[in-house]
Amino acid sequence: MYEPGFAVIDLETTGLNPRYHHRVVEVGIVTLDATGRVLDRWESLVNPQRDLGPQSIHGIRAAQVLEAPTFAELAPAISSRLRGNVLVAHNLSFDAAFLEHEFTRAGLTLPPMFLQGLCTMRLSHDYVFGNARSLAHCCEFLSVPTGSAHCAGDDAEAAAGLLSRYIDMDPNRPDWEKHLSAVSQLAWPPLEHGPLVRTVQRGFTAEPVHFLQRITAHMTEFSGPAEDEEYLMLLERAMLDRHLSYTEQQELVALAQVLGIGRQRCNDLHRYYLEQLVTAAWADGVITPDEEKDLRLAADALGLPGKVLDDELAKGQKETDTPSPTAKAPLSVAPGSIVVLTGAMTRPRDQFASALRDLGYVVADNVTKKTDVVVAADPDTLSGKAGKARKYGIPVVAEDFLFTGLGVSRV
């Protein structure tokens, strides 16, 4: 028979309250036996299917969760670690509220009384002196090791360390046996074993592979001018801010596969696109330092070596007296264009909106087919505004484009 223990959980979320449609973006669970000995650590990022909220706090980027499973997909794995154990968290009411909300959204139920577990923050009043009750302060006071703050796995392990220390300091505290006995009586619904779901963890440090490498190298070529033009149109929209977000890379890979464009042809089209940028930059007879910086950002995003740009710049200088009649200026957003802002930006959005209006732009609250560009705190955002923009073929660019492309002051 399974001996009950403790399941210490930490959740990173998009906001403070699930009633306001906030979701879980990372789960960390550390299981302990009845004596406080660590048995297992499990964690995963979660695709919240919405904007990530204050990314400056949890440090999770949208590109990291795009391939992560949803909470519903992870629910069986989470349930298997919770069942038969006492639920523990630092500020339990917060984690319990999100846990209940996410299980309910997934069409699952938790046993009555399960969420009334142990809170290491409340317990700290008996073991930690002073008024501060944060996880970091409690761990520091009791010399419990900590990892990265607001990383669900590390915070769950730190809270588990606190619980172990409490048990060591006070092994006969009635609360331990009371909760262990109560949880053994809970009736859990049968565990449904679905397909194995791959967890996704933050901190993956492998060298990023340029998205061109994900386009089949030996695909049979059947593309022609129409296919080239369609790919270039998507590329131009994606390159508005001289940056290709993970989402935009995925879109380009998918389109290349649909159109039957192989890797070498994509590379040729990227070089052609860079040529057009260089030609447009040379149109006034000079390349400024800012323009060169912009072009180097573009070349890097396109996966082209610096020498290719150097050659194009040198060639363009020779041709400035007779510019190509087919040269096309890069897609741009000018005063009068409709701009939509989304995500938790480095300044309040109303400040950016005011600055944009002063520059002559129209700032809208919602995305329509008339919107010219969506500026996002994270260009891979899963927000509803960004999703609608992508559906309509409207560029979604990073916040930095406010300064580099729209003329907003950084000060």
The predicted-structure confidence for 198-221, as pLDDT tens digits, reads as follows 899 987 544 566 777 666 665 554
pLDDT over 50 (residue 60): yes
d(CA 139, CA 8): 15
Q: Which range is most confident: 160-164, 342-346, 386-390?
A: 160-164
> Are residues 346 and 313 both part of a single domain?
no
State percent of the chain over pLDDT 90. 49
Q: What is the CATH number for 39?
A: 3.30.420.10
Whether residue 171 lies inside any domain: the answer is yes
Residue 45's domain comprises 5-183
Query: Number of folded domains in the chain?
Result: 3
Whether residue 196 lies inside any domain: the answer is no
Q: What is the CATH number for 348?
A: 3.40.50.10190
> Are residues 154 and 83 both part of a single domain?
yes
> Are residues 54 and 144 both part of a single domain?
yes
> Are residues 278 and 362 both part of a single domain?
no
pLDDT digits (tens, 9 = 90+) for 311-325: 888 886 665 555 444
Residue 248's pLDDT is 86
> Are residues 178 and 230 both part of a single domain?
no
How many alpha carbons fall within 13 Å on the CB side of residue 105? 20
Please state the pTM of the whole predicted model: 0.71
Q: What is the mean pLDDT of residues 226-252?
A: 83
When the pLDDT of each residue in the chain is averaged and rounded to a whole number, the result is: 87
Question: What dihedral angle (degrees, nearest 10) is formed by the CA atoms of 387, 69, 206, 236?
Answer: -10
Whether residue 117 lies inside any domain: the answer is yes
> Are residues 218 and 310 both part of a single domain?
yes
pLDDT digits (tens, 9 = 90+) for 124-177: 999 998 877 889 999 999 999 999 989 999 999 999 999 999 999 999 999 999
> Are residues 104 and 156 both part of a single domain?
yes
d(CA 219, CA 32): 52
User: Which residues lie below 8 Å from residue 22, measured CB to CB, with a gap of 6+?
Assistant: 13, 14, 15, 16, 53, 98
Whether residue 324 lies inside any domain: the answer is no
